[in-house]
């Protein structure tokens, strides 16, 4: 059974791992995406994530189910955090259980790649020099929303505009 959630609390990787796997599984792969301190040569101090929660959860569920259908995978669990995150915080966690490691690794990679392309989740990076910028992500055509793909924090077309 797949599990997906958009959460506004710290992600507990061990709890996510406990949601997947069974006696027939020889592998559980856990991917953690964390807030890094540098991006494109700039010092990042924090990231703020926003999501179209109900749509994002539907998209994540479809991605998880597709992974289960496309690979020999028994279960997938995904959590993505929203809100303001500090450098080092976990922003996304993906746990995949499978009888063999190759399918678990491959499915995990496909899940994170599709999540980044398809889920209506946006991030605004805050920089040491005091600026903040909404980063490129899901396009409005892909989500059916009016949120933009790249705008400064003071500009328009960011989440909520």
- pLDDT score at 137: 64
pLDDT, tens digit (0-9, with 9 covering 90-100), for 29-68: 999 999 999 999 999 999 999 999 999 999 999 999 999 9
Would residue 113 count as lying in a domain?
yes
pTM (2 d.p.): 0.84
SS (H, E, C) the chain: CCEEEEECCCCCHHHHHHCCCCCCCCEEEEEEEECCCEECCEEEEEEEEEECHHHHHHHHHHHHHHHHHHCCCCEEEEEEECEEEECCCEEEEEEEEECCHHHHHHHHHHHHHHHHHHCCEEEEEEECCCCEEECCCCCHHHHCCCCCCCEECCCCCCCCC
With respect to residue 62, please indicate whether it lies within any of the assigned structural domains: yes
Q: How confident is the model at residue 136 (pLDDT cuts 50, 70, 90)?
A: confident
Q: How many domains does the chain have?
A: 1
Q: pLDDT tier at 116 (50, 70, 90 boundaries)?
A: very high
21 is in which domain, residue-wise? 3-152
User: Does 68 map to a domain?
Assistant: yes
> Which CATH number belongs to the domain containing residue 12 in this structure?
3.90.1170.40
Is residue 157, in this structure, part of any structural domain at all?
no
* 161 belongs to a structural domain: no
- Domain membership flag for residue 128: yes
């Amino acid at each position: 059974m797949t599990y997906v959630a958009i959460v506004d609390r710290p992600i507990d990787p061990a709890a996510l791992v406990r949601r997947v796997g069974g006696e027939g599984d020889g592998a559980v792969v856990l991917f953690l995406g964390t807030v890094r301190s540098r991006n494109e040569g700039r010092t990042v101090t924090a990231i703020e994530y926003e999501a179209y929660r109900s749509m994002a959860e539907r998209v994540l569920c479809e991605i998880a189910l597709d992974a289960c259908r496309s690979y020999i995978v028994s279960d997938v669990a995904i959590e993505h955090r929203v809100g303001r995150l500090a450098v080092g915080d976990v922003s996304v966690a993906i746990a995949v259980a499978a009888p063999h490691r190759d399918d678990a690794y491959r499915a995990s990679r496909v899940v994170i790649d599709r999540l980044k392309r398809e889920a209506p989740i946006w991030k605004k990076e805050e920089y040491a020099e005091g600026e903040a910028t909404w980063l490129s992500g899901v396009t409005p055509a892909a989500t059916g929303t009016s949120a933009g793909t790249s705008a400064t924090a003071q500009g328009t077309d960011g989440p909520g505009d």
